[in-house]
Structure 1
Amino acid sequence: MLIVLSPAKRLDFAGTPADLPATRHRFEDDVSTLSVTARRQTQAELRRLMGISDDLAKLNQQRFKAFDPASDEGLQAVLAFAGDVYQGLDARSMSRADLTWAQDRLRILSGLYGLLRPLDRIQPYRLEMGTRLKTRRGAGLYDFWGDRISKALNADADGHDDPTLINLASQEYFGAVDARALRIPVVTCHFREGVRDGGGETRIVSFFAKKARGAMARFAVEGRIDRAAGLKDFATDGYAFDKAASTDSDWIFTR
């Protein structure tokens, strides 16, 4: 079983335990190509492409200018991201054994790096998957990555007793996974909140859903869950599997 997460806009490069190993990202040529293309963008172009403020555009221009695709510097990806999903995951409180196990089971989709393992070192960046950064491969990052991410996921699932891919990523990021090239089954998990209006309806609240995605990934790591069915026991923060509302490919968890 593999679990995929989205990255986060917020980063925390505050440091890492001295004894935690680090690995090198696997799409070196692609990362180099993208970083060079992004470095050539003006501050105004980055602001328009990313829909961000002048200050953020300036910061990201500085980051791309300082980015060295050949560098071994940086922080392990699972520690560097600090958004809502990663609050739920709370990787900084995990043991070395937990993170070592996660290295074979957890994947993070990335606009710049393609597909990251938890212990892959990354440098500070912002490049969301939906960005229409034009390259020789097409008009945006979906074109750029093509079937590369799907092929990497196929290879990473090879040898697992249960090769199911658990999708805990956003639609924007999972859109970079080419369904035609994917050779493993996919289950997408959804987290919904109860509406206290007497109607029995539920709704998705973005903040809670993101945090639950990270919490489910943590549940899998700490429990050493290597088969998708084991995730149906997820009960963190009051969630429970809703069998009646779920299908084979879409699992609903409500509270």
Structure 2
Amino acid sequence: MLVLLPPSETKSDGGEGEPLDLGALSFPELTPVRLRLTEALRTLADDVPASIAALGLSERQVDEVERNAELFTSPTRPALERYTGVLYDALGAAGFTKAQRARAGRRLAVASALFGVVRAEDPIPAYRLSGGSVLPGVGGLRGVWRADLEKTLSTVDDLVVDLRSGAYATLADVPQAVTVRVVTEDAGGRRKSVSHFNKAAKGRLAAALAVAPREPGTVRTIISTARAAGLRVEKVGDRELELVID
């Protein structure tokens, strides 16, 4: 299976890996688009005011522009360690055993505005680019990514569990994927989507699927694996699940 995670705006610093090598990333067919975007983002970093405007940053976030200026020279680290924030805290990869980390490396991938999609162990630098950004001379990222990324994701042999949200879900459609909506349920059984606990809940679900000794390969086994981890997941459509939280 392939669990497709959303990225995070926040990313860890540093790393011990060699500088970015686009050819070393998974899904090498995406290299031409990756090269176009990384070069455009690096060039944009030469103009700090333009970078701040295009990336939706504040003056206090100029260090994010500096990260982009060093895209090809800064150290890398595995994607699973690069992305931070609520979802990745709940995922808890730092606490995985060696065997669990190996399973996570095979099962987890991260949607990325800059790289399209990367697997958990792919070495990437810190950068700043959001799914809704419009780069000068390039345009909106959906137009850049859609055709190539949809083709790549449509050829994934494994069952895809799509946990993306927002602008990242619009970069490419994955019609065959299983989608998950995080909801609450009131006393009358009425459900509504939640935003505040959405990321943490998805992180816990991703962790359960990533470390399970037996790989979940069907909707039924996704549900049973989640329930074994104490999560309430229910099927509401052929490929639609709801994760119910208190």
The alignment status of 1:169 with 2:158, answered yes or no, reads no
1:1-255 alignment, distance < 5 Å: 1-13=1-13, 24-25=24-25, 26=28, 27-41=30-44, 42-56=47-61, 58-68=62-72, 73-135=75-137, 139-155=139-155, 157-158=156-157, 163-179=158-174, 185-195=176-186, 198-223=187-212, 224-228=214-218, 229-233=220-224, 234-235=226-227, 239-243=231-235, 246-255=236-245
TM-score by length of 2: 0.83
TM-superposed CA distance for 1:237, in Å, is 8.1
The 3 A distance-change label for structure 1 pair 110 and 240 is: same
TM-superposed CA distance for 1:14, in Å, is 6.3
The 3 A distance-change label for structure 1 pair 61 and 72 is: closer
Mapped partners of 1:187, 1:250: distance in 2: 6
Q: What secondary structure does 2:207 align onto?
A: helix
Mapped partners of 2:13, 2:112: distance in 1: 17
Q: Deviations over 1:209-243 (max 9, x none)?
A: 11111111110121133313212121488541234
TM-superposed CA distance for 1:82, in Å, is 0.8
| Cα RMSD, aligned residues only | 2.6
Unaligned runs of 5+ in 1: 17-22
The 3 A distance-change label for structure 1 pair 72 and 104 is: farther
The 3 A distance-change label for structure 1 pair 13 and 24 is: farther
One-letter identity of the residue aligned with 2:108? L
Q: What secondary structure does 2:223 align onto?
A: helix
Match of 1:19 in 2: none
Report the identity percentage: 24
The 3 A distance-change label for structure 1 pair 236 and 131 is: farther
The 3 A distance-change label for structure 1 pair 51 and 88 is: same
Residue pair 2:3, 2:161 contacting (<8 A) in 1 also? yes
TM-superposed CA distance for 1:50, in Å, is 2.6
Aligned pair count? 232
Mapped partners of 2:12, 2:229: distance in 1: 25
TM-superposed CA distance for 1:44, in Å, is 2.4
TM-superposed CA distance for 1:2, in Å, is 1.6
TM-score by length of 1: 0.80
Q: What secondary structure does 1:206 align onto?
A: coil
Q: Deviations over 1:61-96 (max 9, x none)?
A: 21121110xx69311000111111111211111123
Higher strand proportion, which one?
2
The 3 A distance-change label for structure 1 pair 122 and 238 is: same
One-letter identity of the residue aligned with 1:127? L
Unaligned runs of 5+ in 2: 17-22
The 3 A distance-change label for structure 1 pair 236 and 65 is: farther
Residue pair 1:99, 1:118 contacting (<8 A) in 2 also? no
TM-superposed CA distance for 1:141, in Å, is 0.9
One-letter identity of the residue aligned with 1:247? G
